[in-house]
A and B are shown apart, each in its own frame.
Chain A
Amino acid sequence: MDRYNIQETEKKWQSLWADEQAFTTEDHVEGKEKYYVLEMFPYPSGKIHVGHVRNYTLGDVVARFRKAEGYNVVHPMGWDAFGLPAENAAIENGRHPAEWTYANIAVMREQLKAMGLSFDWSREVATCSPDYYRHEQKMFLDFFKNGLAYRKESVVNWDPVENTVLANEQVVDGCGWRSGAPVERRTLNQWFLKISQYADELLEGLDELGGWPEKVRTMQDNWIGKSQGLQFKWDINNYDEDVEVFTTRPDTIFGASFVAIAPDHPLAEKLAGDKDGFASFIQQCQALGTSEAAIEKADKLGFDTGYAVSHPFVEGLNLPLYIANFILMDYGTGAIFGVPAHDQRDFEFATKYGLAIKPVVIPEGEDAASFKLEDKAYSGDGKLANSDFLDGLEIEVAKSLVISKIEEKNMGQGKTQYRIRDWGVSRQRYWGCPIPMIHCADCGVVPVPEDQLPVTLPEDVSFEQAGSPLANHPTWKNTSCPECGKDAQRETDTFDTFFESSWYFARYCDAQNADKGFAKDKADYWLPVDQYIGGVEHAVMHLLYARFFMRALSACGYTDVKEPFKALYTQGMVNHATYKDESGKWVFPNDVVKQDDGSFKHATTGEKITEGAVIKMSKSKKNVIDPQEIMDSYGADAARLFILSDSPPDRDLE
């Protein structure tokens, strides 16, 4: 009996499927309902990794199954091709980002084909191709026309050595991840998309997404962060101005023991600018960068301005006015009143600076007289106490009462606040989509006329100089103003790569359309995606941006579809055992041999190896497995079957 010849058989069928265009899909097939299966598209880093293998195998089972059930299935694939790694590769290896990217795409395409995946390759897209990004430049112009895109100064992380803006992820312990230099907070003019305008719609839309995991919907809910609060003014004693605070807990007003403002609040400099230690305090604050997470984690730091504010309800009660490192200027008003008993950050701050910690919300079952906090704030439910006219009330009732009293006194008003900020899309990078705008000294900011699209990247580019490579290019930015004809300069910023991934699923519907991103009838036919598969790490950025982008496109007449993804499947991470040698360095699983007695040794040096925790596969921990090796030896079917049989994909795979 002939042994099964994997290599030959798998190649034979892959050729046949390709020759017969087995998975090429027509739009609008008579008598068949459409079904759109999509896995999140990959960044072409060079080789597929095991996370890809699991992702695409899952999607392939769904696609082939639905096809067998009689659906008109579309199962497209493409490349999320712009981004920083290509520029880093250019700097490190001297290869042009475009050449590096397309070479990787070629390798990975072959790897995917060797897995026997049922993709419709006729719909393949590479986001770095002008054939793709010309259409998103047009979309941006339409957003601009409709008031959904605007320019504004905002605070960014500035690396003074590299002379460039850093994303929050590139700031490590307050320093640039490559230069190691302390990062500064600077203001820069940037382009924004008005996602905040859709905050309520995006929030309410979550209720319709029953096919999404609860966890992801909750994450989006929290990211949008709608809260009802109170905005009101505190009188600063012996000073002409008031300080306006925002709070989501007006009920705790009687527990306030200080007021704090952000380091970049206009009052900060005014009140304390001439005091000793102010300058170095501000520097310490700026070193944290702009990442909310970093600020949240850092030790609480405060600077007493020396001024005090009067309590709105307690005659004669004055509270100190501090500048604090954990107050953000762009949330609320950049000022708060601190209630240490009921807010953890305020608790840490008060503990450090010896400020009063006064409980005013008593949990069920406790007595106001005997209630004691242990070593942290209490932010749960309860009834008001030690609070004058609020005593005995439930939190929500107390909130409303405080709001109406403040409104009566004309000191402020109730307000709805959102945590979500407008989406800043400017990046000072080369390997990204050029933003199609022109800066004219006379006319200001002028959109590139549609008939001049696409604005393409120059091929000759140098990464020798620090700063934006497009800005440094001697001639690329020189152009003439479309309005007055005088000499003008192109916008040298490029789009955040999330811009491309916000509409790629719509492009697949009409991938070869040269005139527009997609014909409306094709998008309206195929969308929404019926089954989307990808990692949960995209829960709040990509998945929220895409939901917003579809609504923005809909507002501009591109499509009637507002929600891009009907059902979502998110997977855990791929984990593996880790190994360390005697000096504590990580070792690849391939270089480790298991002995008969169960111990491990290095395959070549023979030294003793210790097996460590099973954690997420990571290149730095060297616990990665190259799926290509597995496929070369066992074939695609075995690799696929293994991935499918291991464990439910919404848990971490080991």
Chain B
Amino acid sequence: MLRGSLSFLIHRQTATLNEGAWRFINKFYATTQDFIKAQHSLDADAPSGLSDDSKTLRALTHKTAAQIKDDITNFHMNKAVARCRELYNAITGFKAVNDDDNWALKEALEYLIRVMNPMIPHVTEQLWQDFGHTENLYDAPWPLTDESLIVEDTVNIAIQVNGKLRATIKMAKDIEKSDAEDSALREPAVQRAIEGKTIRKVIVVPGRVVNVVVA
């Protein structure tokens, strides 16, 4: 498969191609084929008592499907690819101990195949067919996101002005620093405390504190 002359190619693009895209496709193929060959007999419906790990995997699966819609709409294709790799890594890192776990794993694999179809149509059509589906992906709808599965991970954040507690806000655990800053500055109690003063800087300790330093 590898042509002789290509072993002399050194420029960054093809080197990256070799390490990145090519290996990913092969690994994705191999991982999925391994799962299919294990021939787990699974129900169509979701099992009732899923483990915490399975729940976490399902949440990532469904969140990925939703976020990639936005990514493609906004032409952030590299973000979409990064999310796919994240889901793939979660899949390979997942240790299934029973068929309930395998159910979650199968869902993750099938979702990944479907969301990657617009990007890598050939291998994904093949894997979908290998899973036993009769309808081809080019005719299939985008996988649905079950909102109830996406756990909102929130934390109470202390909002301080010059080190003194002024408010407490519930924020998403993985909120962007700039968003945390904005939420803090919008708080009425914070606005009262900084009125007439100049903001020198805003310190954000993720998941814990936002401290507005004024003078």
Write the residues of chain A forming the contact surface with B, with a CB cutoff of 8 angstroms.
1-4, 6, 9-10, 12-14, 16-17, 20, 22-23, 58, 60-65, 67-70, 116, 118, 569, 576-577, 589-590, 592-594, 600, 603, 625, 629-630, 632-642, 644-650, 654
Known A22-B136, A645-B21, A645-B78; contact A65-B72, beta-carbon cutoff 8 A: yes
- Contact partner, B10, options A1, A592, A649, Cβ 8 Å: A592
Question: Closest CB-CB distance, B11 to chain A, in whole Å?
Answer: 4
Instruction: Report the Cα distance A17→B114, complex, angstroms.
Output: 17
Question: Is B77 within 8 A of A644, CB to CB?
Answer: yes
Question: Closest CB-CB distance, A12 to chain B, in whole Å?
Answer: 8
Question: Is A634 within 8 A of B22, CB to CB?
Answer: yes
Q: Is the interface of B mostly helix, strand, loop or mixed?
A: helix
Question: Closest CB-CB distance, B3 to chain A, in whole Å?
Answer: 5
Question: Closest CB-CB distance, A16 to chain B, in whole Å?
Answer: 7
Instruction: Report the Cα distance A57→B33, complex, angstroms.
Output: 26
Q: Which B1-51 residues have C-beta < 8 A from chain A?
A: 1-3, 5-6, 8-14, 16-18, 20-22, 24-26, 29-30, 33-34, 37
Question: Is B122 within 8 A of A13, CB to CB?
Answer: yes
| B80: Cβ under 8 A from any A Cβ | yes
Question: Is B75 within 8 A of A648, CB to CB?
Answer: yes
Instruction: Report the Cα distance A577→B78, complex, angstroms.
Output: 22
Question: Is A9 within 8 A of B9, CB to CB?
Answer: no
Question: Is B141 within 8 A of A68, CB to CB?
Answer: yes
Instruction: Report the Cα distance A1→B38, complex, angstroms.
Output: 12
Question: Closest CB-CB distance, B114 to chain A, in whole Å?
Answer: 8
Instruction: Report the Cα distance A647→B77, complex, angstroms.
Output: 8
How many residue pairs between the two chains, A and B, have CB atoms under 8 Å in the bound complex? 153
Known A4-B123, A634-B21, A637-B123; contact A645-B75, beta-carbon cutoff 8 A: no
| B163: Cβ under 8 A from any A Cβ | no
Nearest A residue to B118, CB-CB: A64
Instruction: Report the Cα distance A65→B159, complex, angstroms.
Output: 42
Question: Is B122 within 8 A of A625, CB to CB?
Answer: no
Write the residues of chain B forming the contact surface with A, with a CB cutoff of 8 angstroms.
1-3, 5-6, 8-14, 16-18, 20-22, 24-26, 29-30, 33-34, 37, 69, 72, 75-78, 80-82, 114, 117-123, 125-126, 136, 138-142
Q: Which 6 A-B pairs have the closest CB atoms?
A: A64-B118, A594-B10, A637-B120, A641-B21, A645-B81, A642-B21
Residues of chain A contacted by B80 (CB below 8 angstroms): 644
Known A68-B141, A569-B75; contact A654-B120, beta-carbon cutoff 8 A: no
Q: Residue among A70, A118, A637, A647 with the most chain B CB within 10 A? A: A637
Question: Is A589 within 8 A of B9, CB to CB?
Answer: yes
Nearest A residue to B9, CB-CB: A590
Question: Is B118 within 8 A of A647, CB to CB?
Answer: no
Question: Is B24 within 8 A of A641, CB to CB?
Answer: yes
Question: Is A2 within 8 A of B11, CB to CB?
Answer: no
